[in-house]
Amino acid sequence: MKRILLLGGVTEALAMARRLGPQHIYSLAGVGRVPADLPCEVRGGGYGGAEGLAQYIRQQRIDLLLDATHPYAAQISHNAVSAAALAGIPCWALRRPAWQPQAGDNWREVADWAELVEALKPFQRPLFTLGREPLEHLHEIPEGQFWTLRALDTYPGNARCEVIGARGPFVIEDERTLFAQRRIDVLISKNSGSSATEPKLEVARERGTPVLILKRPQLPEVDRAFLTGDEVLQALKRESYL
């Protein structure tokens, strides 16, 4: 019986985990909330790099490593490819397509935090949707700016920052209210490509609000790459993993 180790991190990963039998393993780093009714085994926590992951693959007699982590979790994806090679098994990956700017969008891509801070100078009311990373920079907020941070969970802010804990999928009406009430004049986002978080881009387009997009990291080549979770499931069936 073939065994899959599914590395989760995006919405599609949970949908795939619901289709896995009890011999398969769904692995999360620990940030996401996992339903208690999944039919497969669930593992939380890290592995200690590529070598640790390869050792786990051997111990569990895994036949296929499936990377469905976040597009910005580049280190995990690199570790997955290395671990699969060390263990002598194939590595497949879900590579969700990036969002593309549309007519009316005012997007600017930034490479890193330093470039982002420079690009933020003309603005006063930014909305950050980068996860927890901006929390490390709350002491750097310049005079004249008030930051709104949205993350999966609520964290302490300060006099110049409020942190909102919220999980998608988000609806456009709520996003419109958020932008209007907080007088958002610039949106900062990763290019996750997720439909669950895309409504914020629609609102920015409607309002003519600039968007600063954190550039996607370069991800490693894998044995097979897929654009959607459905494509992955179809391939798993064809190859008799399901």
What pLDDT, in 10s, does the model give residues 49-71? 999 999 999 999 999 999 999 99
The rounded percent of the chain whose pLDDT value lies above 90 is 89
- What are the extents of the domains in the chain? 4-97+218-238, 107-214
Per the CB < 8 A criterion, the answer to whether 161 and 146 are in contact is yes
- Please give the structure tokens belonging to residue 27: 């692995």
What pLDDT, in 10s, does the model give residues 107-158? 999 999 999 999 999 999 999 999 889 999 999 999 999 999 999 888 999 9
Nearest to 49 by CA among 82, 74, 21: 82
Which pLDDT value is given to residue 45?
A: 87
User: Is the per-residue pLDDT at 219 higher than 90?
Assistant: yes
CATH homologous superfamily for the domain 4-97+218-238: NAD(P)-binding Rossmann-like Domain (3.40.50.720)
Which pLDDT value is given to residue 1?
A: 83
Rounded CA-CA distance 104/201 in Å is: 11
- Please give the structure tokens belonging to residue 218: 């370069």
- Note whether 4-97+218-238 and 107-214 share their fold: yes
Per the CB < 8 A criterion, the answer to whether 113 and 165 are in contact is no
> What's the pLDDT band for 37 if we cut at 50, 70, 90?
confident
Domain 107-214 in CATH 3.40.50.720: yes
Nearest to 175 by CA among 152, 212, 210, 207: 207
